[in-house]
Structure 1
Amino acid sequence: MSAQRRNCESMNISVPPSSNLHPFPTQQVAFHRTELSVILSLYGRFVAAGEWRDYGISCLRDVAVFSVFRRTAENPIYRIEKRPRMRDKQGMYAVVGMDGQILRRGHDLKTVLRVLERKLIRAVE
């Protein structure tokens, strides 16, 4: 036998056991690209106005959350939530204030975000 063939025979190729406890990956709720473009467009206008400075996105099992911060170390001043289970009831999109109060809920993201756009409009002197 050649030396190369002996090296191949002596190698044991084994597949490591799967460490995944769940046979299927857990599903997460996330924002779609079109939804994110609407949210980030609004976010950019508030950043340009100097109102918002940071954001965070959380994709959980039941809800996707876009949190808006005035400063990084604070609690979010607004949360834009997507809850698909509420689609048939009150609408799956909601804007939640800092105190947990739901400012607006609905089926269309653009109309729900209008509650925040009103805060951007200021009187120019």
Structure 2
Amino acid sequence: MTVQSPTPFPAQPSAPRQIAFDRQELGAILTLYGRMVAAGEWRDYGMSFLRDVAIFAVFRRAAENPLFRIEKRPALRNRQGMYAVIGMDGQVLKRGQDLATVLRVLERKLIRPVD
């Protein structure tokens, strides 16, 4: 008969899970970001990964409030959609299930009339 010894390190309660953008989502966001930087519209960004939301914030200057926030809230997946673009004033500009579709609201800013 073998007696199993108690583990020297008892099971730790798992840390609260964070929401984050996956590689594909981050690639789509950073592609748009690069194009907007090249156009002179955006200059800086910040990311926050919290318990219920992942946020990609875009700034014109580092010392300002964000121009836009791109949020991922998986809890809203079955309702309005888990992706949202939120303006500086807190207004939801676009919400949906597909990140590429939601980001199109920001891509329109790249289209300018030619004089």
**Same topology, TM > 0.5:** yes
Alpha-carbon distance, 1:124 to partner: 1.9
| Partner SS for 1:111 | helix
For 2:35, the equivalent position in structure 1 comes to 45
- TM-score relative to the length of structure 2: 0.89
Alpha-carbon distance, 1:43 to partner: 0.3
Alpha-carbon distance, 1:123 to partner: 1.0
4+ runs deviating over 6 angstroms: none
Counterpart code for 1:89: R
For 1:107, the equivalent position in structure 2 comes to 97
Deviations 1:40-91 (A, max 9, x none): 0000000000000000000000000000000000000000000000000010
| Partner SS for 1:31 | coil
For 1:54, the equivalent position in structure 2 comes to 44
- The structure whose Rg is larger is 1
Bigger share in helix: 1
| Partner SS for 1:28 | coil
**Inter-partner Cα distance in structure 2 for 1:68 and 1:124:** 26
Q: Percent identity?
A: 69
| Partner SS for 1:29 | coil
For 1:34, the equivalent position in structure 2 comes to 24
| Partner SS for 1:96 | strand
Unaligned runs of 5+ in 2: 1-7
**Inter-partner Cα distance in structure 1 for 2:15 and 2:53:** 17
Give the root-mean-square deviation of aligned CA atoms.
1.5
